[in-house]
Structure 1
Amino acid sequence: MRIALAQFNPVVGDIAGNTSAILRLAEAARQGGAAMLLTPELALTGYPPEDLLLRDSFYAAVEKALDQLLEVDGITLVIGHPARIGAERFNAATVLRDGNRLGQYHKMLLPNSEVFDECRYFTPGAAPLVVEVEGVRVGVLICEDVWHVEPAAEAAEAGAQCLVALNASPFHHDKIDARQQVARYRVEETGLPLAYVNLTGGQDELVFDGASFALNRAGEVAVQLPAYDDALGWVDYADGDFVAGEQAALPSRVESVYRALVVGVRDYIGKNGFPGALLGLSGGIDSALTLAVAVDALGADKVHAVMMPSPYTADISLIDSRDMVARLGAPYDELAISPMYDAFEATLAPLFAGRPVDTTEENLQSRIRGVLLMALSNKTGKLVLTTGNKSEMTTGYATLYGDMAGGFAVLKDVAKTLVYELSRWRNTVSEVIPERIITRAPSAELRPDQKDQDSLPEYEVLDAIMQRYVEQNRSADEIIAEGFPEADVRKVVRLLKINEYKRRQAPVGPRITQRAFGRDWRYPITNRFS
């Protein structure tokens, strides 16, 4: 028996378009000799459909699509979709063959942590589903079911000879290894080979990295599909096991993050119908990396870089920005903000009289730049990409309605130290980021001789504290006990707390860690716990 793994990129809510994609994949699978086509979790609707699941018309459209797929002959289809039975809703997989519905499986275990919120929508299933295809009994699982013992065990007890799993498993660091390890546990426990198909593409903050696979009964990777790319893969079952097949190479950790950012930008811009992107280029490493990602995602002609120098902008920032856009071939303009800054200062002078110069004047510069970028966005329809990183989002080292103004925050979940790693990796592909941008000390250039480390701990220290406190839920005392300077730990935690209101107003951005600001992070703004 041959199983086809349909690793593809559905669009949330585009049920007709997703159905057409599945029909094309089904025909290609049938032509390739497959007896079964396995689609990802909620493939008909895209994942996650969120509150679309509360609309009656949504289920009517799903049923219409299933009726259309029933017309497919000559191959068994396993279709991921939401189902409603009476007052209950289920995360389901329906098995179709030659006009017949052979069975429907309901996901037993509903994730309700990190970015997942399935208990809000679905009722857990209560029974396994085993269907026979060309004499082979196939047990069906959905995503979270693979991460626990019981669903696979119940399928085995019901007579399954192999397991197949439909998944919408979003990317974060080391996720591919984690998926394969938990699948290996299920293989070891049941003695059954397991085929695992995953989505590709970006959906708001989430990026789905594909990397579908099949494990044989020894827990070895029999088939490995590529990461991030759509693919139709083949898994052959013979003599009670999966046979060795395609072995796509998987990206390194840093390359995987870079590609996730590219997919996130590409699909957020493309699926939402924007004609391109705008960003403010500063001569610093964050905006340089953002520009490189945007050009790789969209093509140079669709990315407009704008340099907006102030009296504090160094000459090398202008030189390096011009150098980089020349290397990439992206459209580029320079708009000096000094006249506008002078006008603001003159207007505010009577109200600021007797008050010292402080961050107010720095923020004015940033907000002028935000106004200019948003004006260009309104005029051209292009989306503004913000360039702030996770270290800055943690500490509030960003200006609300200034450099935070935009539609998509490319580096929102990328720590500053990782920004450097990603930039160096991108230059191994082709040297698009001038070396001086990578090696010079980071600065917002909003006052004379300003450096980031005037206000913040060294980024290696800051990022280590942030990772432990934000991503691992460690306490300040635990982090101090590890040997981190107490003053730095207390400062980072205090800045994190008082800047929650800023993060609530930040654009969405691609998630690349297990704890990103946004869907993962739900802290109260008004909060006296310490």
Structure 2
Amino acid sequence: MPPTLTIALAQNNPTVGALDVNADLVRRDRATAADLNADLVVFGELNMTGYPPEDLVRKPAFQRRIEAEVSALARETADGGPALLVGAPWRSGGKLWNAALLLGDGRIMEIRAKHHLPNYGVFDEMRVFDAGPLPEPMNFRGRRLGVMICEDMWYQDVARHLALQGAEMLIVPNGSPFEVGKAGRRMDLATSRARETELPLIYVNLVGGQDELAFDGASFVSDRQGKILRRDKGWDESVIATHWTYDDNRWRCTPGEVIDKPGQMESIYRAMVVGLRDYVKKNGFPGVVLGLSGGIDSALSAAVAVDALGPEQVLTVMMPSPYTSTESLEDASEVARLLGTRLESISIGPAMEAFGTMLDPLFAETQADTTEENIQSRSRGLLLMALSNKFGHMLLTTGNKSEMSVGYATLYGDMCGGYSVLKDLYKTTVFSLCEWRNNHRPDGLLGPDGPVMPQRVIDKPPSAELKPDQTDQDSLPPYDVLDAILTGLVEDERSLEDLVADGHDPDLIKRVWRLLDLAEYKRRQAPPGVKISARAFGRDRRYPITNGFTKLVSKG
């Protein structure tokens, strides 16, 4: 009979730094793989520490604990069960590697280091790791496994070298975070590497949330022409067995279930849910609290929170002022009813009066302006933070990327909080997601079937309601125009001339550009939020606060 292998793909959800917890996840998945008669279990990149561990890996005590946990797992493989291919930082010869370690027969059998260290966007691996040499194939039961870690798949040289050194298949452990459009690029690269080397390819990705990053799983197997033979579900932990036969001098995988990739709206929504869920749970919060205004941003934030945590862990608070419309009160109440959350109401009128009295001696000779409006927002922030402090719930902020881009947000007011699920979503995407969620509820979400907000919340003009008859468009251009300009400036780094050629007014472009740069100091103080795009504020896009270039642009 020809040689056979059963290789299990284990996409799990590690917690950065929780070495004992992560080791137990490996044990759990190994037991599942043993029931599937697996010979080898492949895990994602740095699954032992979680990804990205950042400067935590610099601590010698942390490094020693990693080595102890990996060594303990290696000893356990003496039981005759499946071997393990795990990811961990590893010290060797005075260097610290992002490594893949093959554990079997009671020992550490092979170690390979990541060759290409990403140093762009959210990735800072050159800061903490040393680059390894071009890897040689790993020997496993007389076979030659070509292991290349995550970024190594994005270049031709590693796969080519492995093939030339006799690798019989390619295995790619990944810690590849979600962003819109990235799944297609992964597939294109995997297909290219398979075709170039004429080797089948196994791709195993992490799942779960880590601070601003969300990992979408969707592990897969392709044949040597890049055809997908197996694809696992996205966003959830799982262990699947793939069956291989060595025939005609090559490994062939038995085709199995190829789960369809979710559409863009579902992918974005799941990223928000997973990012919030794991931020709350991994940091030990009992739930979240958020202000429910009757507007679209807070309604979508509340829906994501309920889908992530369940209605019993979400406290919503309406904080009306004299400018709050009856319509907003009704809409907030209906959102809470549809989601099944507890809704409290605390008027900020007394706070406005108190601050007015305190400040009147200094403000007496001045005209009311945005200062008084910001006092309203900060009064709400103070109340919500008080509830967070008293009951332990994390405060969820509700601002979107359009607002944060141009500074249409109040420091220590509506920016107060621990996490923001809309941080990387432009307002036009917020509208689309609300329409989508009202008509779809993917499996695994904890919120209700059917609509999660009244249609009126989506249709009415957005307003902060900080003065009579106010709408966002009093201060901002229409969101479809604003978002198109911001996409050009933020995501694409396009020039003034390029945007004018698209038909945008040059004076409006200069105004938006100036607002974008002026608001950098606010964004530095904003809470983290789940990454959706290729250019999320914070880790992806880092601009100086003191920045004179915008002045040159505005002068023409």
Per the normalisation by structure 1, the TM-score is: 0.99
Does the residue aligned with 1:77 lie in a helix, a strand or coil? strand
For each residue in 1:116-136, what CA deviation from the matched residue of structure 2 results, as whole angstroms up to 9, or x when unmatched? Answer: 000001111113231233443
Partners of 1:129 and 1:299 lie apart in 2 by 48
Matches within 5 A, 1:22-421: 22-70=26-74, 71-72=76-77, 73-238=80-245, 239=247, 240-421=251-432
Q: After the TM superposition, list the runs of 4 or more consecutive aligned residues in structure 1 that deviate by more than 6 angstroms.
A: none
Q: Give how far 1:357 is off.
A: 1.1
CA deviations over 1:222-257 (Å, ceiling 9, x no partner): 110111011112222223222211212221100100
1:424 equivalent in alignment to 2:435: yes
Letter in 1 for 2:390: K
> Residue type of the partner of 2:370?
T
Paired AA for residue 337 in structure 1: I
Unaligned runs of 5+ in 1: none
Please list the CA deviations of residues 40-98 of structure 1 after superposition, one character each: whole Å capped at 9, or x if unmatched.
Answer: 00000000111111100111111111111112233221110001124311000011111
What residue in structure 2 maps to residue 501 of structure 1?
521
SS class of match (2:240): strand
Among 523, 532, 535, the alignment partner of 1:515 is 535
Partners of 1:152 and 1:80 in 2: CA distance: 19
Provide the C-alpha distance between the structure 1 equivalents of 2:393 and 2:431, rounded to a whole number of angstroms. Answer: 27
SS in 1 for 2:384: helix
1:215 & 1:233 partners in 2: Cα distance?
Answer: 15
Q: Answer whether contact 2:71 2:107 (CA < 8 A) is retained.
A: no
In 2, the alpha carbon distance for the partners of 1:314 and 1:487 equals 34
Deviation at 1:110, TM superposition (A): 0.3
The one-letter amino acid of 1:69's match is L
3-state SS of paired residue (1:378): helix
Displacement of 1:137: 1.9
- Structure 1: distance between partners of 2:386 and 2:82: 53
Report Cα offsets for 1:387-429 as digits up to 9, x if no partner. 0000000000000000001110110001100001110111012
Displacement after TM superposition at 1:473 (Å):
1.5
**3-state secondary structure, aligned to 2:8:** strand
- Hey, what does 1:529 align to over in structure 2? 549
Output the CA distance in 2 between the equivalents of 1:477 and 1:401.
Answer: 36
- SS state at 2:388 partner: helix
- The answer on whether the counterparts of 1:234 and 1:245 sit within 8 Å (CA) in structure 2 is no
Is 1:15 aligned to residue 19 of structure 2? yes
Between the aligned partners of 1:179 and 1:2, the Cα distance in structure 2 is 24
Report if the CA contact (8 A) 1:76-1:133 is conserved.
no
Q: Which amino acid aligns with 1:304?
A: L
Checking the alignment, whether the CA contact within 8 Å between 1:12 and 1:47 is kept in structure 2 is yes
Query: 2:473 is aligned with what amino acid?
Result: Q
Q: CA deviation at 1:100?
A: 2.7
Q: Any conservation in 1 of the 2:71–2:108 contact (CA below 8 Å)?
A: no
The CA distance in 1 between the partners of 2:488 and 2:468, in whole Å, is 33
Count of aligned pairs between the two proteins: 530
Q: In 1, Cα distance between the equivalents of 2:53 and 2:139?
A: 31
Aligned AA (1:8):
N
Describe the SS at the equivalent of 1:496: helix
Distance 1:83 1:488 in 2: 52
Please say if residues 128 and 158 of structure 1, whose CA atoms lie closer than 8 Å, have aligned partners that are also in contact: no
The residue matched to 1:376 in structure 2 has which SS? helix
Residue in 1 aligned with 2:444? none
Query: Any unmatched runs of 5+ in structure 2?
Result: 441-449, 551-556
Tell me, what secondary structure is at the counterpart of 1:324? helix
Which whole-Å CA distance do the structure 2 matches of 1:468 and 1:236 have between them? 47
Q: Distance in 2 between matches of 1:101 and 1:273?
A: 34
SS in 1 for 2:111: strand
The CA deviation string for residues 118-169 of structure 1, in whole angstroms up to 9 with x for no partner, is: 0001111113231233443211010000011001111111101110000000
The Cα RMSD (Å) is 1.0
**Range that drifts further, 27-36 or 439-448:** 27-36
Query: What is the deviation of 1:481?
Result: 2.1
> Partners of 1:406 and 1:376 in 2: how far apart?
11
Following the alignment from structure 1 to structure 2, what is the Cα–Cα distance between the partners of residues 308 and 248? 45
TM-score by length of 2: 0.94
